[in-house]
Structure 1
Amino acid sequence: MATQSELEDIDDLPPSAKLVFKVLEYKGALTQKEIVEESMLSARTVRYALERLEELEVVEEDVYFADARQNLYEIDASCDTSADCADAKNCAD
């Protein structure tokens, strides 16, 4: 589960990284090309956003078996970053 500081780190990201995060949150695992299509951001902007999200360890990169030249990006399953879960955790504390 994401800590409060991890959620704050996501809040400090540029808007493009937040958008990429939300696209992955709603659509699930996607390739970089699919993220570009869904977000309507440039490929370079998506690459930068994914790098920033990977630095925070909230997005993980995996091999896309349908085309090994591409990678598949998804929200790290061990890191639940939804605001509802964070609020529930804060209420439980």
Structure 2
Amino acid sequence: MTRSPSAKLVYKVLESEEELTQKELVEETLLASRTVRYALKRLKKIGIVEEDIYFADARQSLYKITESKHTACE
């Protein structure tokens, strides 16, 4: 996956929570907002996490594990 401990933590939280906003990930992981943003960028770049529209607040995005990665782990 990735060597970044923060990216691994973000991935594990998404694995258990299904979908979260960046703000929720900051709250769940207790990491700095900038650190979560960087981890999400790395995870998206390698195709493990995907970004979607958060309809409750269009200023935010929802993040989730890519379907192919999620079903491969089950």
Q: Report if TM-score (shorter chain) is over 0.5.
A: yes
Across the aligned residues of Structure 1 and Structure 2, the Cα RMSD in angstroms comes to 1.2
Q: Give the structure-1-normalised TM-score.
A: 0.74
Q: How does 1:6-85 map to 2 (within 5 A)?
A: 10=1, 12-80=2-70, 82=73, 85=74
1-structure distance, mates of 2:3, 2:51: 19
CA distance in 1, matches of 2:27, 2:41: 18
Distance 1:67 1:42 in 2: 21
Q: Which has the larger radius of gyration?
A: 1
**Poorly superposed stretches of 4+, deviation over 4 Å:** none
**How far 1:13 sits from its partner (Å)?**
2.4
Identity %: 59
Deviation at 1:79, TM superposition (A): 1.9
More strand as a share of residues: 2
Q: Runs of 5+ in structure 2 lacking a partner?
A: none
Partner-residue secondary structure (3-state), 1:61? strand
Aligned residues: 73
Normalised TM-score (structure 2):
0.92
Q: Offset of 1:75 from its aligned partner?
A: 0.3
